[in-house]
Structure 1
Amino acid sequence: MVSKAIFIHHSDSSGYKFHDDHPFDPIRQTLTIDLLKEAGALKDDQIVSPGYTISEQQLRWVHRDDYIQAVKQLDHEDDPRRKSVIAEQFGLQTEDTPFFPGLHKAASAIATGSLEAAEAVMSGKAQHAFHLAGGHHHAFPDRASGFCVYNDASIAIQHIRRHYNARVLYVDTDVHHGDGVQWCFYEDPDVCTYSIHETGKYLFPGTGFAYEKGVDSGFGACFNVPLEPYTEDDSWLESFNVTLRKVIEAFKPDVIISQHGCDAHAYDPLSHIHCSMRIYEEIPAILHELAHAYTNGKWIALGGGGYDIWRVVPRAWSHVWLEMSDHPLAAALKEGRRMPLPKAWLDRWKDQSPVALPAYWQDERSDIPAIPRRDIITEQNRTIQSIVIQDL
C-alpha cells in the first residue's frame, strides 16, 4: 500500500551540533517534532528511522574521497597541529563550520535520511516524504561551507538520477542561495536547480544571480531569483509564483525535491528579508499543488536554515508536514482561522526559550512592521522576475 506521506528522522542527526553558541542547533528538530505531536499531526509510529547509514560509495557520488576521509580522520587525529592543518584544508576550521567530535557520524545520518526520503518516493512506497534534518545545501564536493558538511540534497538527487533516471526539479526557498546544489548540477540538463533567496550582493554566499544559468548542456536548467533586502510577503510570494510556475511548466520534471530553509522570516537574525509566517504556510501548499499537477505527486521535502529556532522554525517546518499529510489544521489555516499553538507545547518550552513564544500558528500583523520602501522593493523584484523567465 502506498502511503500518502512519510516523516523521516534519523536519531543520530541530533548529534549535528557545532557548539553551544553556534546558531545551527539541532534542538530545532526536537521542537518541531514535539509541536507536531502536541498538535495531533504526528504519532511515533508515523516516524520512519532508517536502520542503516549511507555508504562511503554513496557519499562519493557528490564528495571527493579525500574530503570524506579527512572528515573521518579528524575524529581520530591526536596531533593538534596535524588536526588543524586537515580541518583548515577542508573548510572545517571556520567560524561557520568548525569541526566537532562525531561530525562524520552525524553528517552521514543526515545524508542517510535524505537518501531514504528519495528512495521512499521513487520506489512508490510513498507519494511524499519529509526529512526535516536535511537540506545542507552549501557543502561542496571538496569542502564544508555555511554550516554544511555533506550535501544531502545533492546525494538524494544523484540517487534518483542513477537509479531511476528521472528528471529532478530542485526548489530551494532558503534565504541563502543554494550554491552547493547548483554547482553540483550546473552542467546537467536533467537536474533543474531553482533558488529564491536574498541577493548575494549583501548576503552569504555571495552568489545566486539571475545570470547564473548553467553551462554546456546544462545551460537553461538553472534559475536564480535574488530578492532585495526587506522584501515582504506579497512580493516574495509573487516572485515565487511567477517564476517557479514558468520553470516547472518548461522543465517538466518527474519529481520535486524542495529545501525549506525558513530564514527569510523577519525575526531571523542572519538575513534581511522581512517576511512573516504567511509564506511558510503558502510555500508547501504551492509545491503540493505543483507536485500533483506535474510529477504524479512525487515530492521530497528537506529542512534547511532557520535561526530563530523558537518562534519561527518549529511553526514553519510543521507547515510542511501539515500540508504534505493533508492534516485538517492545514485546511483551517488556509481558511484564515486563527489557530492557537498547543498549550502543552508552549508550557513545556516557554521557560527554555530566550524570547516569548508565539501563541498562534500565524504571526500578528503588528509584530512585523511594514517597510517604508515597499513599492520600490516590489518593482526591483519584478525586474528580476522578468529577467529570470525571459527565455521561457
Structure 2
Amino acid sequence: MAKCARNLHMTKNASFIFSKEQLEYSFSDTHPFNQKRILLTLDLLKKSGAIQESDIIPPRIATDAELLLAHDHKFIDIVKKAGKGLLHGNVGDVYGIGTDDTPIFPNMHEASALLVGGTLTAVDEVMEGRSKYALNLGGGLHHGFHGRASGFCIYNDSSVAIKYLQEKYGARVLYIDTDAHHGDGVQWSFYDDPSVCTLSIHETGRYLFPGTGNITERGNGTGYGTSFNFPIDAFTEDESFLNVYKTAIKEVTEFFKPDVILTQNGADAHYFDPLTHLYGTMAIYKEIPRIAREIADQYCDGKWIAVGGGGYDIWRVVPRAWAHIWLAMTQDSAPTGPLPADWLAAWQDQSPVPLIPTWEDPEPLYEPIPRKAEITEKNEQMLNRALHIIRNEQRIK
C-alpha cells in the first residue's frame, strides 16, 4: 500500500498543455497562423498511442498582473477593447493591432491570455515537480513586444513566462529559439538582464521578417554576452542546421549554466514552409527536441519547458515535427515508417495538399542545391564568429 502511495506522487515524465479553447486564437480562415495544427498534432499522437488523456492538462488564463510582467497596461487595454469591438479609427495602428499581420478578432484578449496562461501552466508543472518536462504548443509567440503586437503575436507568452520564472522561482533561464524567424520580442525583453540568456537560430534577416538577429546583437550593459544569434543562410540544409544547433546549444549552456531551459519550437525551417527559405527536412525536427532534453537533463536536472511557434504548412510538416517534441519528452524512440492510417484518413479530405504518409520525408525532397558547399561554409564561419565571445570569456576565467 505504501508503495502505491509513493507511485501516486511520482513526477510524471511530461505534461501536455491543451484545451480546444486554444484554437480561438484565430485571425481568419485565410490567415497563415492557424491553430488547427495543435489539434492535428494531438490527434497524431493519440492515434499513434503516444499520449493518454491523463497526460493532458488544461491551460488557465493569465491574469492582468501576470501579463504586466512583460507588457504595458495601455497595450493590454487596447487589446481588450479591440476584442470587444470598442476600438475605433486607427487607434490600434501604433500598437500593432488591426494590421494585416495581427487583424482584430472577437475576444482577442481572452484568447491571447489563454495562450500565455498555458505556458505559465507548463512552468508550474515543471518547477513544482509534478512533471519533468512540459509542452504548450499554443505558446511560442516570440514577436510580441512590451507595448506592441507584431508578426502574428499579440502577447508574448515566453517573455511573460521568463519573468514569472524569475519572480516566482528565482530561476536563471536559458531561452532557445529554433524558429526560422528571429526571436526578437524575447531577446529585446531581456537584452540587459544577465540572469536570462537568449539563443536564436534563424534564417538571416536579409530576406526574412523581422530583419534582426545579427551576431553583433550580444546584449547590453550587465546583460552583455547573454544574447546569442546564429543567422543561417537561405537554403540551409539539415546537416549545416544541426551542426550550428548542436554546437551552439552545448557551448552556450555550458557557458551560462541555467536553472531551467525554455525552448521555442517553430516548425518553419522546413522546405515545405511557404513563408521561409530554408531547406530543412523532418530530420532536424527529430533531433532538435532530443538534444534539448539531453542538455536539460545534464545541466538543469531535467527542467525543460517547450512551446510552439511558427509553422505554416500545417498539414504536411507541423504535426509530424511537433509530435517529435512530445515523443522526446516521453523518451520514446523516434518513430519511423508509415503514419497511422486512421490519422491520414481522418484529415486527408480537409487537406489542400496530399499528406506525407510517413514520419520521414520522401527522398529526394527537392533538387540538389548548387551552392550547398558555399552555404555550409558561410554558416560555419558565422558560427565561429558568434561563439567567439564565449570562448574568449572562458579563457579569461
Query: TM-score range with shorter-chain normalisation?
Result: over 0.9
Report 1:254-269 matches (<5 A): 254-269=259-274
**1:374 is the counterpart of 2:372:** yes
Superposition deviation, residue 367 in structure 1 = 2.0
Contact 2:85–2:106 at 8 Å: present in 1 too?
A: no
Paired position in structure 1 for 2:5: none
Paired position in structure 2 for 1:295: 300
- In structure 2, how many angstroms separate the alpha carbons of the residues matched to 1:189 and 1:4? 30
Superposition deviation, residue 365 in structure 1 = 1.9
Three-state SS of the structure 1 residue aligned to 2:215 is coil
Match of 1:5 among 11, 14, 25: 14
Report 1:227-306 matches (<5 A): 227-306=232-311
Aligned residues: 381
Provide TM-score, normalisation by structure 1: 0.95
Q: Percent identity?
A: 48
Moved more, 134-143 or 3-12: 3-12
- In structure 2, how many angstroms separate the alpha carbons of the residues matched to 1:20 and 1:83? 23
Paired amino acid for 1:280: Y
Three-state SS of the structure 1 residue aligned to 2:92 is helix
- In structure 2, how many angstroms separate the alpha carbons of the residues matched to 1:299 and 1:171? 11
Match of 2:53 among 40, 44, 47: 44
Contact 2:143–2:184 at 8 Å: present in 1 too?
A: yes
**1:165 is the counterpart of 2:174:** no
Paired position in structure 2 for 1:87: 92
Match of 2:129 among 124, 127, 131: 124
Distance 1:29 1:84, change over 3 A: farther
Contact 1:179–1:208 at 8 Å: present in 2 too?
A: yes
Superposition deviation, residue 97 in structure 1 = 1.0
Report 1:10-29 matches (<5 A): 10-29=19-38
Three-state SS of the structure 1 residue aligned to 2:77 is helix
Paired amino acid for 2:75: Y
Match of 2:73 among 52, 65, 87: 65
Superposition deviation, residue 126 in structure 1 = 1.0
Three-state SS of the structure 1 residue aligned to 2:134 is strand
Contact 2:14–2:55 at 8 Å: present in 1 too?
A: no
Match of 1:359 among 333, 357, 372: 357
- In structure 2, how many angstroms separate the alpha carbons of the residues matched to 1:53 and 1:94? 25
Moved more, 208-217 or 356-365: 356-365
Paired position in structure 2 for 1:180: 185
Paired amino acid for 1:31: L
- 1:150-199 CA-to-partner distances (Å, cap 9, x unmatched) read 00011111111001111100000000000000000001001000000000
Superposition deviation, residue 93 in structure 1 = 2.0
Paired position in structure 1 for 2:393: none
Contact 1:276–1:368 at 8 Å: present in 2 too?
A: no
Three-state SS of the structure 2 residue aligned to 1:202 is coil
Match of 1:53 among 54, 57, 61: 61
Contact 1:10–1:110 at 8 Å: present in 2 too?
A: no
- 1:100-133 CA-to-partner distances (Å, cap 9, x unmatched) read 1111111011000000101111111111000011
- In structure 2, how many angstroms separate the alpha carbons of the residues matched to 1:150 and 1:10? 18
Superposition deviation, residue 87 in structure 1 = 1.9
Contact 1:179–1:207 at 8 Å: present in 2 too?
A: yes
- In structure 1, how many angstroms separate the alpha carbons of the residues matched to 2:181 and 2:368? 22
Paired position in structure 2 for 1:196: 201
Superposition deviation, residue 45 in structure 1 = 2.3
Contact 1:12–1:105 at 8 Å: present in 2 too?
A: no
Match of 1:341 among 336, 339, 342: 339
Superposition deviation, residue 326 in structure 1 = 1.4
- In structure 2, how many angstroms separate the alpha carbons of the residues matched to 1:374 and 1:75? 47
- In structure 2, how many angstroms separate the alpha carbons of the residues matched to 1:76 and 1:207? 33
Task: List alignment gaps of at least 5 residues for structure 2.
Answer: 1-9, 391-397
- In structure 1, how many angstroms separate the alpha carbons of the residues matched to 2:147 and 2:57? 31
- In structure 2, how many angstroms separate the alpha carbons of the residues matched to 1:183 and 1:10? 30
- 1:188-220 CA-to-partner distances (Å, cap 9, x unmatched) read 001000000000111000000000000000000
Superposition deviation, residue 280 in structure 1 = 0.1
Three-state SS of the structure 1 residue aligned to 2:102 is coil
Contact 1:84–1:93 at 8 Å: present in 2 too?
A: no
Paired amino acid for 2:57: V
Contact 2:174–2:260 at 8 Å: present in 1 too?
A: yes
- In structure 2, how many angstroms separate the alpha carbons of the residues matched to 1:280 and 1:265? 9
Contact 2:193–2:223 at 8 Å: present in 1 too?
A: yes
Match of 1:101 among 102, 106, 111: 106
- In structure 1, how many angstroms separate the alpha carbons of the residues matched to 2:355 and 2:159? 34
Paired amino acid for 1:361: W
Superposition deviation, residue 241 in structure 1 = 1.2
Task: List alignment gaps of at least 5 residues for structure 1.
Answer: none
- In structure 1, how many angstroms separate the alpha carbons of the residues matched to 2:12 and 2:24? 29
- 1:24-76 CA-to-partner distances (Å, cap 9, x unmatched) read 011101100100000001122221003x4211010000000000001001133
Paired amino acid for 2:71: H
Paired position in structure 1 for 2:150: 145
